């Protein structure tokens, strides 16, 4: 399984890369939404999920997930943020195909949330 990781903070990006390696995932790292969209065009449908910070430069993680889902409606997104889930929903975050882990988080929380999200059948909450 390949995960697109979008995080503008280098420390969080490195921690996520370490966790995904340890859990046996393949991944591609991007530091903003524009770079992530370019990577998605290069890799096509090879991504199974995206882990994205909600607050990114130039494009929010919510906008990014919507852009990615325009091409892959079943793509699952795991939002990470210092914002609450209620704030994310108010910003337009689609919770039907999404998971959420608040910052600060530990790597076990991310791994468990990613597993739960990717094990969930498409189309169910």
- Convert 108-122 into a string of H (helix), E (strand) and C (coil): HHHHHHHHHHHHCCC
Tell me how far CA of residue 22 lies from CA of 17, 44, 79, 108, 124, in angstroms: 9, 25, 20, 11, 28
The string of pLDDT tens digits covering residues 38-91 is 998 887 668 889 999 999 998 999 999 999 989 888 889 999 999 888 888 888
Tell me which of 3.40.1580.10, 3.30.1110.20, 3.40.50.300, 3.40.50.2300 is the CATH number of domain 2-119: 3.40.50.2300
**What single-letter DSSP state applies at residue 14?**
H
State the pLDDT at residue 124: 42
- Tell whether the model's pLDDT for residue 30 goes beyond 70: yes
Percentage of the chain exceeding pLDDT 70: 92
108: Cβ contacts below 8 Å, ≥ 6 apart: none
Global pTM value = 0.89
Q: Summarize the confidence of residues 7-25 as an average pLDDT.
A: 93
Question: 89: buried, middle or exposed (CB in 10 Å: 19+, 13-18, 0-12)?
Answer: middle
Phi, psi of 57 (to 5 degrees): -65, 140
Distance CA 49, CA 118 (A): 7
Exposed e or buried b for every residue in 73-86, given b needs 16+ CB within 10 A?
eebbbbbbbebebe
Phi, psi of 79 (to 5 degrees): -85, 135
Domain spans, the chain: 2-119
Q: Summarize the confidence of residues 22-41 as an average pLDDT.
A: 93
């Amino acid at each position: 399984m390949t995960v697109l990781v979008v995080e503008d903070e280098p420390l969080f990006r490195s921690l996520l890369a370490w966790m995904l390696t340890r859990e046996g995932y393949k991944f591609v790292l991007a530091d903003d939404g524009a770079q992530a969209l370019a990577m998605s065009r290069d890799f096509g449908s090879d991504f199974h999920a995206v882990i994205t910070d909600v607050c990114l430069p130039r494009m929010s993680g919510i906008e990014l997930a919507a852009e990615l889902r325009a091409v892959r409606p079943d793509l699952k997104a795991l939002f990470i943020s210092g914002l609450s889930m209620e704030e994310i929903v108010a910003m337009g975050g689609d919770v039907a195909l999404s998971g959420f882990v608040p910052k600060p988080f530990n790597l076990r929380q991310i791994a468990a949330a990613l597993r739960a999200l990717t094990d969930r059948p498409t189309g169910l909450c």
